[in-house]
C-alpha cells in the first residue's frame, strides 16, 4: 500500500489532474466527505488529507510514503530528512514582504509579522536588517494596520488580499511551487511502486511544459 499525503485546499485542486494522469482517482470528494483517508481507483494507493503544514511531518515519519507540499512549508519545516524529487509546478505564488501603501522603505530595526518565522529570520539576517519576528497563525495582513508590526512576510498570488487591506508587496523572497516529497526509507523499500509514479508525474509535467 502506498500512502500519499495531500492538503485539502488549493494544492488538492491542482494535484488532482496530476494524480489522475497517474491513474489515481479518489473515490470520495474531500470537500463533501469528512473522511481523512481516501481510497482511490487504485487498490494499492490511498490519500491522507491533512493540513498543508503537516505534510512534511507525515512523510518524514513514514506515516505517508510521499506527499505534496508547498516550497514555503518545506523551507520552514526543513527538508533534510526528505527526498524532494520533483517540482510539480502547481499552486504557484510568491513569498514576499509587504507593508502599508506609501509607508517608508523597510530599514532599521523592524517588527515583522509572519507564520514563516525561520524563513523570515534568515531572509532579514542575510540582508543585515535587525528584525523582530512575531509569529502569527493567520490574518497576517492585519498586523501592520493595528501597529503590531511594520511589515509582513506572506504568500502573494493575485495581490488582491494585500490590496483589500491597504498593503503593497515590497520585496520578493522567493518563488513558490508545490513539490513532491518522498520518505527516505519508502524510496528504498517501495522503489518498485514509487519509481513508476515518479516517472508518470515527470511525463505529465513534460507534456505540460511542451503545450
Ligand atoms: O492549513 P492551511 O490553511 O495553512 O493550508 P490550506 O489548507 O489552505 O492548504 P492548501 O492546500 O490551500 O495549500 C496551501 C499552500 O498553497 C501554501 O503552502 C502555498 O504553497 C500554496 N499557495 C499558493 C498559497 C497561495 N498560493 C496563496 N495565495 N497559499 C496561500 N495563499 C494565501 C496567502 O497566504 C494570502 O492570504 O492567499 C492570500 C493571497 O492571495 P492573493 O491572490 O490575494 O494574492
Ligand atoms: Mg488555507
131-165 pLDDT tens trace: 999 999 999 999 999 999 999 999 999 999 999 99
Q: How far does CA 22 lie from the centroid of its chain?
A: 21
- pLDDT score, position 105: 85
Taking the CA of 55 as reference, the closest ligand is 1
The answer on 114 and 87 residing in a single domain is no
| Pocket lining: 11 vs ligand 1, CB cutoff 6 Å | yes
Contact between 163 and 100 (Cβ < 8 Å) = no
The answer on 186 and 87 residing in a single domain is yes
Among 89, 79, 90, smallest CA distance to 119 is for 79
Which domain covers residue 84, as residue numbers? 2-91+177-210
The answer on 84 and 7 residing in a single domain is yes
Q: What is the C-alpha to C-alpha distance for residues 63 and 47, in angstroms, rounded to an integer?
A: 11
49-64 pLDDT tens trace: 999 999 999 999 999 9
For ligand 1, atom 12, name the residue with the nearest CA: 9
Q: What is the C-alpha to C-alpha distance for residues 82 and 36, in angstroms, rounded to an integer?
A: 23
The answer on 117 and 83 residing in a single domain is no
Contact between 170 and 47 (Cβ < 8 Å) = no
The answer on 65 and 28 residing in a single domain is yes
CATH classification at residue 112: 3.40.190.10
Contact between 12 and 91 (Cβ < 8 Å) = no
Taking the centre of ligand 2 as the mean of its atom positions, its distance from the CA of residue 80, in whole angstroms, is 25
pTM of the full structure: 0.96
For ligand 1, atom 21, name the residue with the nearest CA: 91
The answer on 69 and 107 residing in a single domain is no
The answer on 129 and 189 residing in a single domain is no
CB within 8 A of 136, min separation 6: which ones? 113, 114, 115, 143
The answer on 144 and 84 residing in a single domain is no
The answer on 192 and 97 residing in a single domain is no
Taking the centre of ligand 1 as the mean of its atom positions, its distance from the CA of residue 103, in whole angstroms, is 25
Taking the centre of ligand 2 as the mean of its atom positions, its distance from the CA of residue 157, in whole angstroms, is 13
Cell of 22: 497517474
Contact between 156 and 162 (Cβ < 8 Å) = yes
For residue 52, the surrounding DSSP H or E stretch is none
The answer on 142 and 120 residing in a single domain is yes
Domain count, the chain: 2
Percent of the chain with pLDDT over 90: 96
The answer on 57 and 126 residing in a single domain is no
Q: What is the C-alpha to C-alpha distance for residues 104 and 82, in angstroms, rounded to an integer?
A: 40
Amino acid at each position: 500500500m502506498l500512502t500519499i499525503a495531500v492538503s485539502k485546499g488549493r494544492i488538492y485542486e491542482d494535484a488532482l489532474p496530476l494524480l489522475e494522469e497517474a491513474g489515481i482517482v479518489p473515490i470520495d470528494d474531500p470537500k463533501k466527505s469528512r473522511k481523512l483517508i481516501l481510497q482511490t481507483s487504485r487498490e494499492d494507493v490511498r490519500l491522507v488529507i491533512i493540513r498543508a503544514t503537516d505534510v512534511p511531518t507525515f512523510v518524514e515519519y513514514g506515516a505517508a510514503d510521499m506527499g505534496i507540499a508547498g516550497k514555503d512549508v518545506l523551507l520552514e519545516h526543513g527538508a533534510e530528512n526528505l527526498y524532494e524529487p520533483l517540482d510539480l509546478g502547481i499552486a504557484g505564488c510568491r513569498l514576499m514582504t509587504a507593508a502599508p501603501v506609501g509607508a517608508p522603505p523597510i530599514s532599521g530595526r523592524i517588527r515583522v509579522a509572519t507564520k514563516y518565522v525561520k524563513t523570515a529570520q534568515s531572509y532579514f539576517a542575510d540582508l543585515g536588517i535587525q528584525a523582530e519576528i512575531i509569529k502569527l497563525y493567520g490574518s497576517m495582513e492585519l498586523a501592520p494596520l493595528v501597529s503590531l508590526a511594520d511589515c509582513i512576510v506572506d504568500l502573494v498570488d493575485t495581490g488582491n488580499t494585500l490590496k483589500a487591506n491597504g498593503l503593497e508587496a515590497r520585496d520578493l523572497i522567493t518563488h513558490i511551487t508545490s513539490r513532491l516529497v518522498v520518505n527516505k526509507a519508502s524510496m528504498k523499500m517501495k522503489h518498485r511502486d514509487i519509481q513508476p509514479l515518479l516517472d508518470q508525474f515527470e511525463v505529465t509535467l513534460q507534456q505540460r511544459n511542451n503545450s
